A = this chain, B = another copy of it.
């Protein structure tokens, strides 16, 4: 693997970077603004979407779905999609939960309004949408907490892509101090474990544009 085109505010990119770092792939990353049609990205991916992973043979693996499954295929020793087809199905169900449900109900309303708009100079947040996002996140936190009362990791009893997905969305929401951790102790314990992983520390150390996260953002003992 050679190059990774991404942007830190795009959750699909953050999930893959966590996965790459966790697999020990210390690739070069190129930050691209997702709100412009970047010519270099368009040459690699006809849809123009991030992320794009360029291999040593210059072939491009386009989009988080293709990249996730490609990494699963070429790095099978990691078992990041579980050990059986049924374990894989549970992990992928939760990836979809975050990439579709959390994305629409929480990410767009909170991170989209407070962080993405600011980074892309798209104006100030819509307070009506912030209110909706703050209501919606409670249901998601309750669900994550419920899961973590029953299992060791988000997708089952071992670390998986479901954890990378969940961590991508929650860390972006945490960057703007919008995760109500205190009411959800099991969710918080899980995230403390995630934060202490060297692979994820690299991601938490990065600043998004000129915006500072809250002090506790990087702290595993938050």
Report if A59 contacts B (CB, 8 A).
yes
Which of B47, B63, B88 contacts A92, CB < 8 Å? Answer: B63
Q: How far is the CB of A124 from chain B (nearest CB, A)?
A: 25
Could you say which of A95-103, A173-181, A182-190 contacts chain B? A95-103
A85 touches B74 (CB 8 A): yes
Q: How many copies does the complex hold?
A: 2
Residues B65 and A88 in contact, CB atoms below 8 Å apart: no
Q: Is the CB of A89 within 8 A of B70?
A: yes
Q: Among the interface residues A59, A74, A89, which one has the most CB atoms of the partner chain B within 10 A?
A: A89
A101 contacts across to B, CB distance below 8 A: 47
A92 proximity list for chain B (CB < 8 A)? 63, 65-66, 69-70
Alpha-carbon distance between A73 and B86 when the two chains are bound, in angstroms: 10
A154 to chain B, nearest CB (A): 13
- Nearest chain B CB to A37 CB, angstrom units: 13
Interchain CA distance A90-B60 in the complex, whole Å: 9
In the complex, chain A residues 68-106 whose Cβ is within 8 Å of any chain B Cβ: 69-70, 73-74, 81, 85-86, 88-90, 92-93, 95-97, 100-101
Q: A55-B86, A59-B86 are in contact. List 15 more A-B contacts (CB 8 A).
A: A47-B100, A49-B100, A61-B89, A62-B89, A63-B93, A63-B96, A65-B93, A65-B96, A66-B89, A66-B92, A69-B88, A69-B89, A70-B88, A70-B92, A73-B88
A to B CB contacts below 8 Å, 13 in the list: A46-B97, A49-B100, A55-B86, A59-B86, A61-B86, A62-B89, A65-B65, A66-B88, A69-B92, A70-B86, A70-B88, A70-B92, A73-B85
